[in-house]
Amino acid sequence: MRELLYESTRGAGGKVTASQAILKGLAEDGGLFVPERIPELPFQLEELSGLSYQETAYGIMKEFLTDFTEEELRDCIDRAYDDKFDTKEIAPVKEADGSYYLELFHGATIAFKDMALSILPYLMVTSARKNRIKNEIVILTATSGDTGKAALAGFADVPGTKIIVFYPRDGVSPIQKKQMVTQKGENTFVVGIHGNFDDAQSGVKAMFGDRKLAEELAGRGYQFSSANSINIGRLVPQVVYYVYAYGQMMKKGMISAGEEINVTVPTGNFGNILAAYYAKLMGLPIGKLICASNENKVLYDFFRTGVYDRNREFILTSSPSMDILISSNLERLIYRIAGENAGKDASLMKALSETGRYEISGEMKAALADFRGSYADEKETAEEIRRVYRQAGYVIDPHTAVASCVCRKYREETGDGRKMLIASTASPYKFTRSVMDAIDGQYHDREDFELADILSEISGVPVPAAIEEIRTAPVLHTATCETGQMEEAVKQFLGIRA
């Protein structure tokens, strides 16, 4: 097989192997690693309906991770996609209300981040072994709610690793927070920051780019890597479930082989929809990629105007994983539509860093024809949860509701009749208060775990094990810090004193 190497979107550092890109997380120049080319789909479309999730994963991932042996890759896949998922399908497709919902929340932490973060620890440990890394790997992660718990669950007590998660202490749901602060594992550390997700993400990126800090850590036997979606080891596994979903839709008679579908994705950091775009570039018959935003609609404005501008109010919504004004993975798309011109990408990212905005050229904007942006406000989100439940008896979380609402708007505006796959990114049980308030406001005074029981009664879906486990779990992580104290918190956990 022809080797596939990775390069930085900002051009420095030369090309690296997949395992080296996974270990580094972020390129040394602050750019993101991208494959030097997008491989072709390794299957005939007709084959997809007969493949298991694990078989699909191996077929796709071997094309991107070419320095992994078959034995290494199959071992990672078998360890990741096992009975920690509550269905053998791993990511089932459900038809409801005229759309097809790709349920990505059947893993250990009931959110789509499990799909990639179940395998990333194994990819990373294998990568370290391949590259003869002696240092302990410190996973440094910012979360808007879901990545944190999924990463903690994936890396807890994995030999040769430690994991540090920063989250906005007042910017996640009560269930999300309880999931993180009750996390077991001697190698885990969770810190609530006094700020929002963008503050947490900026602090983490600053530490990645600090050469002096890297040298200091290396002297103590540590090196940073990332579990955020900026890591190519997160992005590649996400491509898998779009390919698998297409096969499932064929298997269930929802579409025929070669039929073009549209995909709607609730979007924050842009990794999930970028994975769908990569699947399209591989040859999967996807028409439009519909980017659904909540009231933090920086991406909607970008697709409409060609101007990315984060200089605006940060709004806390009922879909906190999308409460993001700096969508890191968008840089990978910018690099591509700039003709893989690293200098152009670097200058735009510099403008974003210095002024909070950038504007793409008309030629670049024309290259975004595959994408469509729209958004749903808080009122529309709640109404969509209620409408889908009343019309179809199907309960969706606020993030999925944003996508569902945007999907309806798109159909009404365009008349596009293609089948629509909606990425359902979290279980409604992760956001019980928002969901129950939308369905029936009479329960507003109940506490979150009681609401989970009521939700189970009205939906007929059992309360997931992930919720049952944290009902009475003790709080193990109480650390908080200001945004300017994140490096100090890291050093304290690692036992490094100034």
**Active-site positions?**
113
295 and 377 Cβ atoms separated by less than 8 Å: yes
28 and 364 Cβ atoms separated by less than 8 Å: no
CA-closest candidate to residue 130, choices 62, 88, 72: 72
Q: Is 23 helix (H, G, I), strand (E, B) or coil?
A: helix
Using a CB cutoff of 8 Å and minimum separation of 24, what contacts does 202-207 make?
A: 202/326, 202/483, 203/142, 203/166, 203/483, 203/486, 203/487, 204/140, 204/141, 204/142, 204/166, 204/228, 204/486, 205/26, 205/30, 206/487, 207/140, 207/486, 207/487, 207/490
Residue 34, H or E segment? strand 33-35
CA-closest candidate to residue 143, choices 107, 167, 174: 167
Q: Is 94 helix (H, G, I), strand (E, B) or coil?
A: strand
Query: In Å, what is the CA distance from 390 to each residue of 217, 394, 430, 472?
Result: 55, 8, 20, 32
Q: Is 222 helix (H, G, I), strand (E, B) or coil?
A: strand
**Dihedral class, residue 116 (left if φ above 0, else alpha if ψ from -120 to 50, else beta):** alpha
Q: Is 8 helix (H, G, I), strand (E, B) or coil?
A: strand
Query: In Å, what is the CA distance from 263 to each residue of 135, 284, 456?
Result: 41, 11, 29
Residue 371, H or E segment? strand 371-375
Residue 102, H or E segment? strand 99-103
Rounded to whole angstroms, the Cα distance separating 120 from 135 reads 18
Name the packing angle between helices 432-439 and 398-414 (round to 10°). Answer: 50
Which residue matches tokens 């990463």?
Answer: 151
Which residue matches tokens 């996974």?
Answer: 22
